Chains A and B, each alone.
Chain A
Amino acid sequence: DQQVKQNSPSLSVQEGRISILNCDYTNSMFDYFLWYKKYPAEGPTFLISISSIKDKNEDGRFTVFLNKSAKHLSLHIVPSQPGDSAVYFCAATGPPLVFGKGTRLSVIA
């Protein structure tokens, strides 16, 4: 029973273009959403978050959008850089943190 779903296992984007990673959730009680980034052989690292009372949060090249009515959030990275290549996990909390399966982003130079 996946409460947090990332339906795209992988995504390839050209350097300099926009990367859009999507996430859907089913539990309307979630009140905080986060994106984590993970490199191989390392633990996930926090990237950006958004409270359920907001619909957008921006931090440099990273923007997270939340559509509560659709139970959908997305992470936009612009411009994409080769160093952004990693697995991105969407997570939601009530608590505890519930993670999606991850999307592997490859930014091609």
Chain B
Amino acid sequence: DTAVSQTPKYLVTQMGNDKSIKCEQNLGHDTMYWYKQDSKKFLKIMFSYNNKELIINETVPNRFSPKSPDKAHLNLHINSLELGDSAVYFCASSPSLGGTEQFFGPGTRLTVL
């Protein structure tokens, strides 16, 4: 039974399109995150949500809009996709805000052509 799941696992799309990545956690955690791992392999936080409220937005273009319909879900919508958006996107969760141990999903590899 997967703790943190993401769909889709792979996403290939054209520049300019809009796409969404879904994330769900069944751990009962209060806090969820989105990370981006770029071509240089850096894993950087994008957003953090606690109890459906945005806590952290780390200088991410406003083309990226996270949406948390409930505590168990944090979806990432990306408008007007650009080549530089190609990366692996990881969703994660932790029991509470400031929780040090985070549980990661398997990642979504986004390729923008």
Contact = CB atoms under 8 A, between A and B. Distances in A.
A45 interface: yes
Interface residues of B, number: 23
Contacts of A46: 101-103
B100 A44 contact: no
B100 A43 contact: no
Given A41-B107, A43-B4, A96-B56, 13 more contacts: A36-B104, A43-B92, A45-B104, A46-B102, A49-B101, A93-B98, A93-B100, A95-B100, A96-B33, A96-B45, A96-B48, A96-B58, A102-B43
Interface of B: 4, 33, 40-45, 48, 56, 58, 90, 92, 97-98, 100-107
6 contacts: A32-B100, A43-B92, A43-B106, A49-B100, A49-B101, A95-B100
